[in-house]
Amino acid sequence: MLDYINIDKITKTILLFGCFVISSIFLGTRVVGPDYHTYKSYYDIIPGFPELLSSFKFNMILSRFEPLFLVQIGVFKTFQLPFTVFHFVFTASFVALFFLRIGKYTPYVFTATFIYIAFAYLSGWSALRQFMATSIFFYALQYLVEGKKMKYILYILIACLFHVSALVLLPIAFYGNRRVSNIVVIFLLLLVSFLNLSNILEKTAHVLLTVLPIFNAEKISLSLAGRTSFINTIVIFWCVILFFMMYFKNILRKRYLNFELFYNIFWISLFVYIFASSFGSFNRVLMYFKILYPIVIPMCVFVFKETSGRILVFCGVAMISYVLFVRTINEMDGFQIFDNDKFIPYKTFLKEGLEGIPFK
């Protein structure tokens, strides 16, 4: 509710810094998540410099880590720092990228922070590399706002050095603030939905990708076999927000200087997700686009001038955010059902210790 009252700039900065610290501690000191122990295992066997340089290709193949992530591990291993320190610094870094930029994209920073926690932040519990790429994407959006396309592209290429799937973010640079009619958007979404549901895209991809020598046919087959329906809670909510923005488009254009840019990115991202979900596990590109919610949802909340209208929409968003938060926690809970303290960061951090050995 802090966005409803006047707060001076210094107080707002202090409060946001407090949110950053709490978020970093909660995320960076946990020892839970489906990929946590996998990352820790590879961290333990990857060497520091200069040994890493002489075996860089081997370690890339072994770990399947992208170059920049591998380099960062090498730096920490050179100074013989434990995984707990690396994990905390790495996660705090991508949380920091959000807080450094959110004030540029929306004046409703506390509402945006609340939505960030529910919709995007928890992804950092597991997908470390991809969430760093996601955070770089979020940070780089400001360059599109400023019309600096090449700078945006440069940052996305850096993001690809953490997770190669960030390549799907490059086309966004070339659309910008162009106005597009609602009919065109709806037609394109219906078209790509039909292609997805009819399996046309999946069959085409299977033929093309498996015959190209640069792709591993077995790995491609496994990825495509992991295909699930794109129709889920997130997509339904995505469509609700999109149609809301379509309906109030004229009001939002007057109220938000960069509305057209973020609106285009929002509907294009839904298009890309439905397209990518045709190819099995490639649907994980969803993570890149969930981080857009802290920008676009506050637009919907504050489209109403009346306090009652704002509160009503905010309560609806809060309820959905709470459900998603609890669902994510329950999913994590399934991986370590016998550890009752796994969601209490200071306990798990002390229990694990800096070296992963319990304190005496």
Q: Please give the residue range of the domain that contains residue 126.
A: 9-174+339-360
Stated pTM of the model? 0.85
Residue 194: inside a domain, yes or no? yes
CB crowding 117-131: b at 16 or more within 10 Å, else e: bbbbbbbbbbbbbbb
Statement to judge: residues 149 and 184 lie in one domain? no
Statement to judge: residues 204 and 81 lie in one domain? no
Distances (CA, A) of 357 to 79, 337, 341, 344, 351: 19, 21, 16, 18, 8
The number of domains in the chain is 2
Query: What distance lies between CA 91 and its chain's CA centroid?
Result: 12
Residue 333: inside a domain, yes or no? no
Amino acid at 116: Y
Residue 273: inside a domain, yes or no? yes
Statement to judge: residues 204 and 285 lie in one domain? yes
Q: Are 265 and 292 in contact (CB under 8 A)?
A: yes
Statement to judge: residues 201 and 266 lie in one domain? yes
Residue 85: inside a domain, yes or no? yes
Statement to judge: residues 192 and 110 lie in one domain? no
Per-residue pLDDT 10s for the chain (360 aa) are 677 777 888 898 999 999 999 888 888 887 766 677 888 889 999 999 989 988 998 988 888 889 999 999 999 999 999 998 898 999 999 999 999 999 999 888 988 998 888 777 776 667 889 889 999 999 999 999 998 999 999 999 999 999 888 888 988 888 778 888 999 999 998 998 888 888 776 667 666 555 554 444 554 555 555 556 677 777 888 888 899 999 999 889 888 888 999 999 999 888 888 887 776 656 677 788 888 989 998 888 778 777 777 778 778 777 877 777 777 766 666 555 555 555 555 555 555 555 544 444
How far apart (Å, rounded) are the C-alpha atoms in residues 44 and 139?
30
Residue 163: inside a domain, yes or no? yes
Statement to judge: residues 162 and 14 lie in one domain? yes
How far apart (Å, rounded) are the C-alpha atoms in residues 353 and 336?
18
Statement to judge: residues 237 and 91 lie in one domain? no
Residue 319: inside a domain, yes or no? no
Residue 4: inside a domain, yes or no? no
Q: Using the 3D structure, point to which of 277, 303, 329 is the last residue of a domain.
A: 303
Q: Are 102 and 294 in contact (CB under 8 A)?
A: yes
Statement to judge: residues 75 and 97 lie in one domain? yes
Q: Where are the alpha helices (DSSP H) in 146-181?
A: 149-160
Q: Using the 3D structure, point to which of 303, 330, 347 is the last residue of a domain.
A: 303
Distance in Å from the first CA to the final CA of the chain: 44
Statement to judge: residues 94 and 225 lie in one domain? no
Statement to judge: residues 170 and 180 lie in one domain? no
Residue 321: inside a domain, yes or no? no
Statement to judge: residues 22 and 87 lie in one domain? yes
Statement to judge: residues 282 and 244 lie in one domain? yes
